[in-house]
C-alpha cells in the first residue's frame, strides 16, 4: 500500500520502539515527546537514551514537541502515553486531527476517575467536539505480547489491532504490518483493551510470588486463574470470550507475567522481596501501568459486580499495605469450589 504519514504520540520506550516496524515500511513518522529538551536530544543523537538506549531512530522519523505539528496532515495517529495523562494529551491534539484520520490507542490502562478505557476516552472527547458530525475519525486499539526492547531489536512479534469498523482495523493492519511485525485485525475493542490493561495487575501478582520465592507451579496457577478473572470482567462488559485466548489475552498475559523485561512483574518482584511501593516507583524511570490500573480495575469490578480475588489481593497489597504473604494465604484460604471461568 502507499506510504502514509503516521504520528506516534509519546516518546517513551514503546512509542520509540513502534518506529522500528513502521520505519521498515518506509512510512513517514512524527514522534512527539512532551519535553522539549528530550525531543532536542532525539533530534541531535537519533537515540532515546533515557527510555530505549542502543536503538537508532529510522531516517523517516521526525521528533517534535508540538502536538499540532505532530498530527496535522497525518492519516494515522498512535497514542502511546500513560493512561493517567491520556485524556489531557488527546484533548490537546483532537482539534488538529485530520477529518479522516485513524486514531489508535497503544496505551494499556483504565482511567482512574471515569473507569473508561482509552478508546472510550477518545470517543468521549471526539463526541464533545463542536464539529463532531462533520468528521470521520475512527478509533482503534493496538495490543498484544510485545516488549519494546524486542520490537526495536527487530525480533519477530505478533499483535492485534481492533476497531468497531472492520475496514478501519484492516486499514491500520496493512499500514503497520512488516516482515517482522505481524498485525492481526479484529473488532472486539473492549476485549482487547481489557486484556491489555488487566494483565498488568496479574503480572504484579506473579512478581510478588516470584519475590516470595514460590515456584513455577504458583506462577502457572496465577496466570490461569488471572485469565479467568480477566475473562469474567470482559464478558460482563460485552467482550467476546475468545479474545482472551488470543494474542491480546493469553499471549500478553504470559509474556508480562514471565518476562524479565516486564515492569509490572518487576514491581511485584520487589514487593515480594520486602520493598515498599513508594521506594520501588521512585527507582523507576518508566511507568508500570498496573499500579494505577489496579485501583481503577478494583472500582470497575465493584461497579459491575464481578468477583476478582487476585485483583482484590493485589489491590490490598498496593493500597492497603497488606503483607504479601498474607495476601497469598488469604487467596488460597478461600472456600473450595468447582473450577469456573
Q: Which residues are catalytic?
A: 199
How many whole angstroms separate alpha carbon 121 and alpha carbon 90?
Answer: 9
User: How many angstroms separate the Cα of 189 from the Cα of each of 253, 264, 286, 299, 305?
Assistant: 17, 23, 26, 21, 21
Angle, alpha carbons 130-132-136 (nearest 5°): 150
Give the count of beta carbons closer than 10 Å to the beta carbon of residue 101. Answer: 20
Detail the DSSP E strand segments found in 115-263.
138-143, 157-162, 181-186
Angle, alpha carbons 115-121-127 (nearest 5°): 130
DSSP conformational letter for 308 = -
User: How many angstroms separate the Cα of 200 from the Cα of each of 160, 178, 209, 248, 328?
Assistant: 17, 27, 14, 12, 18
Q: Judge whether 109 and 86 are in contact, CB under 8 Å.
A: yes
- Give the rounded distance of the alpha carbon of 131 from its chain centre: 29
How many whole angstroms separate alpha carbon 12 and alpha carbon 32?
Answer: 10
Q: Which grid cell sits at 132?
A: 463532531
DSSP string, 166-206: HHHHHHHHHHH-BTTEEEEEES-HHHHHHHHHHHHHHHHHH
> Which of 10, 13, 6 lies closest to 151, judged by CA?
13
Give the count of beta carbons closer than 10 Å to the beta carbon of residue 124. Answer: 14
Q: Which grid cell sits at 227?
A: 485469565
Amino acid at each position: 500500500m502507499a506510504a502514509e504519514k503516521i504520528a506516534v504520540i509519546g516518546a517513551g520506550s514503546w512509542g520509540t520502539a513502534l518506529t522500528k516496524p513502521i520505519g521498515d515500511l518506509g512510512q513517514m513518522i512524527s514522534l512527539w515527546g512532551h519535553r522539549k529538551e528530550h525531543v532536542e536530544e532525539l533530534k541531535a543523537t537519533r537515540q532515546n537514551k533515557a527510555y530505549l538506549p542502543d536503538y537508532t531512530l529510522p531516517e523517516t522519523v521526525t521528533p517534535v514537541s508540538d502536538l499540532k505539528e505532530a498530527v496535522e496532515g497525518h492519516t494515522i495517529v498512535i497514542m502511546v502515553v500513560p493512561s493517567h495523562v491520556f485524556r489531557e494529551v488527546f484533548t490537546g491534539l483532537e482539534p488538529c486531527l485530520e477529518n479522516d484520520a485513524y486514531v489508535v490507542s497503544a496505551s494499556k490502562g483504565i482511567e482512574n476517575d471515569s473507569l473508561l478505557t482509552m478508546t472510550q476516552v477518545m470517543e468521549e472527547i471526539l463526541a464533545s467536539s463542536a464539529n463532531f458530525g462533520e468528521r470521520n475519525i475512527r478509533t482503534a486499539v493496538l495490543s498484544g505480547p510485545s516488549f519494546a526492547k524486542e520490537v526495536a531489536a527487530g525480533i519477530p512479534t505478533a499483535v492485534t489491532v481492533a476497531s468497531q469498523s472492520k475496514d478501519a482495523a484492516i486499514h491500520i493492519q496493512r499500514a503497520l504490518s512488516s516482515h517482522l511485525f505481524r498485525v492481526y485485525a479484529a473488532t472486539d475493542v473492549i476485549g482487547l483493551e481489557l486484556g491489555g490493561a488487566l494483565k498488568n495487575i496479574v503480572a504484579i501478582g506473579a512478581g510478588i510470588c516470584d519475590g516470595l520465592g514460590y515456584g513455577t507451579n504458583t506462577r502457572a496457577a496465577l496466570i490461569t486463574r488471572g485469565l479467568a478473572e480477566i475473562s469474567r470482567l470482559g464478558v460482563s462488559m460485552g467482550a467476546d470470550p475468545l479474545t482472551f485466548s488470543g494474542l491480546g489475552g493469553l499471549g500478553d498475559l504470559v509474556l508480562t507475567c514471565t518476562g524479565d523485561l516486564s515492569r509490572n512483574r518487576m514491581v511485584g518482584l520487589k514487593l515480594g522481596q520486602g520493598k515498599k511501593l513508594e521506594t520501588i516507583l521512585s527507582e523507576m524511570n518508566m511507568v508500570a501501568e498496573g499500579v494505577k490500573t489496579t485501583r481503577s480495575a478494583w472500582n470497575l469490578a465493584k461497579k459491575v459486580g464481578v468477583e476478582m480475588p487476585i485483583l482484590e489481593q493485589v489491590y490490598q497489597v498496593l493500597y492497603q499495605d497488606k503483607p504479601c504473604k498474607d495476601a497469598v494465604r488469604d487467596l488460597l484460604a478461600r472456600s473450595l469450589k468447582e473450577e469456573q471461568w
